[in-house]
Every structure is written in structure tokens, then in C-alpha cells.
Amino acid sequence: MKVGILQFPGTNCEYDTQYAFTMLGCSTEIIWHQETSISPTVDLLVIAGGFSYGDYLRSGAIARFSPVMQAVQEYAASGKNILGICNGFQVLTESHLLPGALKRNESLHFISQHHHLKVASTDNTFLQKMQKDAIVNIPIAHHDGNFYIDPQSLQELYDNDQILLHYCDENGELLNPNGSVDSIAGICNKEKTVFGLMPHPERAMERILGSSDGRMMLEGFITT
């Protein structure tokens, strides 16, 4: 399986992401933002975390105009899987490949810590190897992770089973670190081919780093 990983000026998680998928036996390719096409051999496209273009203007707002994003739109239209992690989630909302928006954290401070998540849905490729309501411990690191969506669109997310993850405590009770609507940490599109989350599963691949819970999350994409 081949994983393509987008790299913008300011991206800083591309090599963590590359390492994570290499651990899972995948081949990987770093795709620079000035490329205008994505190889048809890429099975999964990942928009990695970081601070694309320094997060100037608004997180992900400049990256959406990079040359590669037209190819990303075409890749999404083809029905292949896309995963946006942290800044990648922000890029996907700015590009309207996912609904909603990511605002400044309610505290107005950057948050960097491990945080528990509750799995809301496993009827999708990403989380198919997990159990519904399972509790995982995954790092978060963001300044603009406050997910917002209007009430009508929020109801559509619930109706279409598009909510993937909620922030919670170790017992599964909602614990909101950033002000996100309904403590939402990750969502997908209606077709369940485009996925976005603020936490970093690629940083939770080995127990020595504090958690290996991210491994099972990413394994959902692996095909033989």
C-alpha cells in the first residue's frame, strides 16, 4: 500500500506520519505543495499536521490555494481516502472537503498534551478496527482546534454518522479541551472517504512515547 503525504511550507509532522505508516508496512511518498498531480499509485493521501504558511491569515486558509490542492480535489472526487491530521483537518475544512471550521481554542492558548478520546463511530474505513465507545489516549497539539458548525449542519453530521471522535476523560465522560461543539475531535464526509481529526495518531504508535493507541486507528486504512 502506498501513502502520499502532503508537505507545505510550515508542515512539521510529515516525517512523523511517514514513520508511522512505514511501521505499518506501507511505502510512502512526500508530495511537495507545488506539485500539480498525485500519482494514481497513491492509495491513501494524508495532509499532515504543522503550521502551513505559518498559519498566517487563518489556519489552512492559505494552503487551500496551493497548486497541489486542485489535484487533492480531484483525488477526493475519485473516491479515494484522504486523512487530514490537525493542520490537515484545518486545510480540509478551508477547502470545503469537510464541513465546519476550526477556530481559536476557547482558552486562547496553545494546547500540547495527551488527551483521551471516545470512538463515536466505527462504520468507516479509518476506525473500522476499533470498538465503538472505546477510549484511547492520543496527543493533541493545536492553537486552533475549536471545531465549530452551525446547529443544522451538526444535526446532519449526527444523522449521517459522520462524527468519529469526541474528547473525553479516562472514563469516557466528555472533557472538552478547546471549546469544540459537542466535544467533537474528528469527523468525515458523507461518503466516508475524507477524514479529519485534530489529535495526532501518528504520535501514538509506540508505548515508549506514552501511547500506542494511534496504531490501531491508522491500521484501518491498511489494505493487503
Of the residues 13, 26, 86, 188, only one is catalytic, namely 86
Spatial distance between the Cα atoms of 167 and 29, rounded to a whole number of angstroms: 31
Q: pLDDT tens for residues 129-176? A: 999 999 999 999 999 999 999 999 999 999 999 999 999 999 999 999
Tell the CATH superfamily of the 2-219 domain: Class I glutamine amidotransferase (GATase) domain (3.40.50.880)
Tell me the pLDDT tens digit for each residue of 68-115: 999 999 999 999 999 999 999 999 999 999 999 999 999 999 999 999
202 catalytically annotated: yes
Q: How far apart are CA 177 and CA 224, in angstroms?
A: 37
The structural domains of the chain, with segments of one domain joined by +, span 2-219
Q: How far apart are CA 142 and CA 217, in angstroms?
A: 20
Q: Alpha-carbon Rg of the chain, whole angstroms?
A: 16
pLDDT per residue as tens digits for the range 18-48:
999 999 999 999 999 999 999 999 999 999 9
Burial code (b: 16+ CB inside 10 Å, e: under 16) for 69-102 equals bebbeebbeeebbbbbbbbbbbbbbbbebbbbbb
With a CB cutoff of 8 Å and minimum separation 6, the contacts of 12 are 49, 50, 51
